[in-house]
Amino acid sequence: MKIEIRSIEEKDYEQIIFLFKEFALFEKLPEKMTNSVEQLKNDRDFFNCFVAVIDEKIVGYATYFFAYYSWTGKSMYLDDLYVSLEYRKRGIGKKLLDSVIDLAKNEECKKMRWQVSNWNKNAQKFYEYIGAEIDDVELNCDLKLT
């Protein structure tokens, strides 16, 4: 099984929207996934994503963006890391995460940040294994603008 990790292309948008929906179901929040192919096209300048491809099928993704934190400086924010259930435990998530980490290092980011659901113990173990520190200090704040 050959796993290709590459940057997303516009031709992938339908497949990635399907995976966004799959991830929202996994998180038990399908009603929160409102993105669309059209929105991705409109937002293409802001949409950064690595995809994992097996036999031309996208089986996982990592979305990210650059951020600036007042205490540390230029940073990378990992928005989502997701691998379809049937493709887990094959190193795909690690390959995707390594791609984002490598990009952040090449861009001289000072740190990376991301969230993990408090119920997702498997993901927490994975992140701790790679050396991430998980705290319980900060809570998410979402303000809908539309």
In order, the DSSP letters of 19-52 are HHHHHHHHTT-GGG----HHHHHHTTTT-EEEEE
* Tens digit of each residue's pLDDT (9 = 90 or more) over 16-49: 999 999 999 999 999 999 999 999 999 999 999 9
**Spatial CB neighbours of 40, under 8 Å, sequence gap ≥ 6:** 13, 16, 17, 47
Q: What is the pLDDT of residues 87-108, one digit of tens each?
A: 999 999 999 999 999 999 999 9
Residues 6+ apart with CB under 8 A from 101: 112
> Which residues are tagged catalytic?
127
Q: Where is average pLDDT lowest: 29-38, 95-104, 114-123, 136-145?
A: 136-145
pTM over 0.95: no
Compute the distance between CA of residue 71 and CA of residue 69 in angstroms, rounded to an integer: 6
When pLDDT is averaged across residues 118-134 and rounded to a whole number, the result is 90
Residues contacting residue 111 through CB under 8 Å, at least 6 positions apart: 69, 72, 75, 76
How high is the pLDDT of residue 8?
A: 98
139 DSSP assignment: -
What pLDDT does 136 receive?
Answer: 83
- Write b or e for each residue in 132-142: b if 16 or more Cβ atoms lie within 10 A of its Cβ, otherwise e: eeeeeeeeeee
Q: Which of 101-105, 126-130, 134-138 has the highest mean pLDDT?
A: 101-105
Q: List pLDDT tens digits, range 46-94.
A: 999 999 999 999 999 999 999 999 999 999 999 999 999 999 999 999 9
